[in-house]
Structure 1
Amino acid sequence: MSRNDDVQNSCDDDTCDCRGILLSAIAFFLIWCICKWVVRKLDKDYAVVELVALMYSNCGFIGIPMAQGIFEAQGVFYMTAYVDNSTIFYVVLLEERGKKRWN
């Protein structure tokens, strides 16, 4: 039995998939709250840039291999869910900011 079989057997039900996405969303929300608190006193235009700079990490580059090394295939799944959440957040944040700026 290989390591991948162990991971596959531990995540056969749908709750494992939902739990990973939920945990990554919670982690991303907590990071967002902390960063929002850090930039709260800055000028609004500058604060958006700083917020994205603080929150954006190259988690896809270093996080996925690190999760694979520590937690194997299941860690890659959780890290990918986190990367997806961060990408969606950045698109929404930058799109909303662009609409306000150009209108």
Structure 2
Amino acid sequence: MLKELNPLLHSQLRLAVMSILLSAEEAEFVYLKEKTQATAGNLSIQLDKLSEAGYIEIEKSFAGKKPRTVCRMTPKGREAMAEYVEALKSYFSGL
């Protein structure tokens, strides 16, 4: 039987962000924007959704006079990603 895919993670941009954060301890907003080729506005909205779900933590500060936004995956986010990957595997197990 096919497992249900987490709709929050099934979005291309949110999945890309989570995938980047899986391999990095943290990532700055500018880096995520560059790697995902998302607009700043869209990325900001998607990061807020992941943060509201408790999948990532967002830390805002300043580096000199420039704003700095850093994202980190939470344990809940790692668990959600592991469950998502297992659910996705169920789609290929019958092949």
Query: What is the TM-score of this pair, normalised by structure 1?
Result: 0.29
Instruction: Name whichever structure is richer in helix by fraction.
Output: 1
Return the index of the structure with the highest Cα Rg: 1
* Greater RCO, 1 or 2 (C-alpha within 8 Å, sep 6+): 2
